[in-house]
A = this chain, B = another copy of it.
Amino acid sequence: MIVNAYAASEKNGPLKPFQYELGPIGPQDVDISVEHCGICHSDLSMLQNEWEMTAYPFVPGHEVTGTVAAVGAQVTHVAVGDRVGLGWHAGYCMTCQECLDGHHNMCATAAGTIVGRHGGFADTVRARGASVIRLPEGIDSSKAGPLFCGGITVFNPFVQYEIPPTARVGVMGIGGLGHLALQFAHAWGCRVTAFTSSGSKQAEALKLGAHDTINSRDPAAIATARGQFDLLLCTVNVRLDWNAYLATLKPRGRLHFLGVQTEPLDLNMIPMLFGQLSVSSSPVGSPGTIARMLTFCDTHGINAVTEHFPMSRVNEALAHLHEGKARYRIVLDRD
């Protein structure tokens, strides 16, 4: 079977139509007929080979929604025609300690949807069983793609750290991840504060679920929040004054990083010691947590706020993201 995709043939090169042969379906494979595919910052990072693991020709796309086109002989949890989604991972070993414990996203040999594989900027994408997750009936597949990477990334810490609804949560950076974090934290029952440097985003953050906002470029404003937060979710990928943010945590609070910080953190230990603070980070989430998130989104009417481009205009869409103009997540629609 021939797949019609968009691929870059070299680092940072433009995406061009690209065809490849899919080969016979394996017993645990699921082929998805792609209808929509979100664009994530990590598609750009991979395109630029920032993490030195990109293979060219490179087909980005790991926020896929569509319908099941074919299933391998051993696949039982989805059937042809089902509405499904696919995120960062396209398969897990299913037998390591982490997989057995339900932490498949920690599987050392998990397959990345766009790492040595061709992704979802295409009419078809193939993945292995457990990574393909059915969409609840109430979920709009045209907006759901971003939940499978950006969404699960910010939803996962609520589950991992058993954040109670009585927690006060701060979201640092209101973009593709942050605008979903605000909605999740609000629906989770938490009191939510948005940290953003953008005046226009402050108003939007309130609509998305924040109870209040703090100007993230105003040290005095940050200082007024001293000792307020149980959980800070950092979705920015620039260096901030981390110790100023640590000071806004309550005793036993957590500063959790979801964006990739390339510079080492320079954390002062004494406030961490006296406050029993934790600093942590995590990548996406397990398929079980993704399924739970989708149900939660269905219950609470949570959607990504999306801008749409036809897939044939993928380069334009990538430029829009690269320029920081996305409000808040771009989705490619199959032409």
Query: Which chain A residues have a beta carbon within 8 Å of chain B's beta carbons?
Result: 98, 103, 106, 160, 251-252, 254, 257, 260-270, 272-283
Contacts and interface: CB of A to CB of B under 8 A. Distances in A.
Interface centre among A251, A257, A266 (most CB of B within 10 A): A251
A269 B262 contact: yes
A41 B281 CA distance: 32
B266 A103 contact: no
Contacts of A274: 283
A243 B275 CA distance: 23
Given A251-B98, A264-B268, A279 B276 contact: no
B267 A106 contact: no
A272 B251 contact: no
A142 to B, nearest CB: 29
A95 to B, nearest CB: 15
30 contacts: A98-B251, A103-B251, A106-B251, A106-B275, A160-B252, A160-B276, A257-B272, A257-B273, A260-B269, A260-B270, A262-B269, A262-B270, A264-B266, A264-B267, A264-B268, A264-B269, A265-B265, A265-B266, A265-B267, A265-B269, A267-B267, A267-B279, A272-B280, A273-B281, A273-B283, A276-B281, A277-B280, A278-B278, A278-B279, A279-B280
Nearest to A161: B278
Contact of A252 (B106, B252, B273): B106
B281 A272 contact: yes
Nearest to A282: B276
Contacts of A273: 257, 260, 281-283
Nearest to A275: B106
Can you list the 3 inter-chain pairs with the closest CB atoms, starting with the nearest?
A: A106-B251, A261-B269, A278-B280
A160 B161 CA distance: 13
Contacts of A260: 269-270, 273
A182 to B, nearest CB: 21
Contacts of A263: 269
Contacts of A280: 272, 276-279
Given A106-B252, A251-B103, A252-B106, A257 B269 contact: yes
Contacts of A251: 98, 103, 106
Given A106-B252, A257-B273, 13 more contacts: A254-B278, A257-B272, A262-B269, A264-B266, A264-B267, A265-B266, A265-B269, A267-B279, A273-B283, A276-B280, A278-B278, A278-B279, A279-B279
